[in-house]
């Protein structure tokens, strides 16, 4: 290697080392918040992501501190992308195909129409379409994880972080409510195990709440609901990709340019493919799933640190109405589709 090449390599190493050193305090802060949130959730129950968010918001003042700002931003962006990519370890193509066509139709229509409804409602209430995409995608796909994945693909502005945090809080809260209410609805209607599993898996926002609600009814319902929910998670890739392409065109990019494909989506697809081919052992799947969850908790802690209670209080009633309307719309839509399909 030439002296010039060695000098460039050494310079790159020094730059990387400096960046790691600058990011370390903020990352340690976010990891500490994530551990505290996990401890509270494990010992007292409740959603870990919501605890991480609220605890993070209590440390908003540190987002303005030069010593921690870089690491907090790194957690909210890059650690988030790692967590979303590793979600692919939960899914295989075979599991999706084993469900048959009715759940696929239900989920396809549910995801598509709920996002479109979110955009329409947002525009009707005078809010940007991006908020409808964010909230509709979170409601239709996989709650907080989808909200964070979509936020990584949507353009960032002065309110994007606040909107993401609000959607995370809203869908987590509504998902918890649905976990209690929807099983009662299923019993009242008189659905069988398969129907109940499809409904719960296609309507409740977060994976944990789907599992909790469905297995309360029966093991059979729980298995169908879990697979249906994972099918919704699989829609994360095409939805984020479509959003990226449409927004890229909407910004007036030149015809010769190509829309950006987020790297974490490519990683997600590759992990799903590897998992489907049996290249990832069961033990590794469990580890990757745990790492994904940990990354998402750290990331949302970082997002929480970057958001103040005062800013969140300025959201107003319209976003609340939108997320509630999307949740009701999705439940009614899935019920209607299931009635048509028999």
Q: Could you give the 3-state DSSP secondary structure of residue 128?
A: coil
Q: Could you tell me the pLDDT band of residue 36, with boundaries at 50, 70 and 90?
A: very high
Domain coordinates in residue numbering, the chain: 81-288+314-341
Helix axes 193-203, 219-234, angle to 10 degrees: 40
Higher pLDDT, 255 or 106: 106
pLDDT per residue as tens digits for the range 173-195: 888 788 879 988 999 998 988 89
pLDDT per residue as tens digits for the range 127-183: 998 899 999 999 999 887 788 888 877 877 656 677 888 888 888 888 878 887 998
pLDDT attached to residue 157? 67
Give the global pTM: 0.69
> CA nearest 135: which of 57, 227, 243, 30?
243
Q: Could you tell me the pLDDT band of residue 257, with boundaries at 50, 70 and 90?
A: very low
The residue behind tokens 């469990």 is 286
Q: Please compute the mean of the pLDDT values over residues 21-38 and round it to a whole number.
A: 91
pLDDT per residue as tens digits for the range 259-273: 455 677 678 888 988
């Amino acid at each position: 290697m030439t002296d010039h090449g060695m000098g460039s390599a050494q310079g790159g190493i020094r730059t990387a080392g400096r960046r790691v050193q600058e990011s370390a305090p903020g990352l340690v802060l976010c990891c500490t918040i994530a551990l505290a949130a996990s401890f509270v959730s494990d010992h007292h129950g409740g959603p870990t992501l919501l605890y991480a968010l609220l605890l993070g918001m209590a440390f908003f003042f540190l987002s303005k501190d030069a010593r921690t700002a870089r690491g907090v931003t790194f957690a909210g962006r890059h650690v988030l992308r790692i967590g979303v990519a590793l979600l692919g370890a939960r899914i295989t193509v075979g599991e999706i195909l084993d469900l048959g066509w009715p759940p696929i139709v239900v989920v396809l229509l549910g995801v598509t129409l709920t996002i479109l409804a979110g955009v329409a409602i947002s525009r009707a209430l005078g809010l940007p379409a991006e908020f409808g995409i964010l909230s509709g995608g979170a409601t239709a796909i996989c709650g907080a994880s989808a909200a964070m994945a979509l936020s990584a693909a949507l353009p960032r502005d002065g309110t994007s972080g606040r909107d993401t945090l609000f959607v995370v809080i809203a869908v987590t809260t509504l998902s918890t409510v649905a976990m209690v209410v929807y099983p009662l609805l299923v019993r009242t209607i008189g659905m069988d195990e398969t129907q109940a599993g499809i409904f719960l898996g296609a309507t409740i926002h977060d994976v944990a709440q789907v599992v909790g609600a469905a297995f309360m009814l029966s093991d059979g319902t729980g298995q169908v609901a879990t697979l249906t929910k994972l099918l919704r998670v699989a829609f994360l890739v095409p939805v984020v990709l479509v959003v990226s392409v449409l927004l890229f065109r909407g910004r007036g990019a030149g015809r010769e340019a190509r829309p950006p494909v987020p790297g974490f989506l490519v990683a997600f697809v590759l992990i799903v493919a590897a998992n489907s081919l049996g290249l990832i052992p069961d033990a590794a799947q469990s580890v990757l799933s745990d790492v994904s969850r940990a990354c998402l908790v750290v990331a949302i802690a970082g997002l929480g640190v970057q958001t103040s209670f005062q800013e969140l209080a300025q959201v107003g009633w319209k976003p609340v109405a939108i997320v509630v309307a999307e949740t009701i719309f999705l439940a009614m839509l899935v019920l209607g589709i299931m009635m048509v399909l028999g």
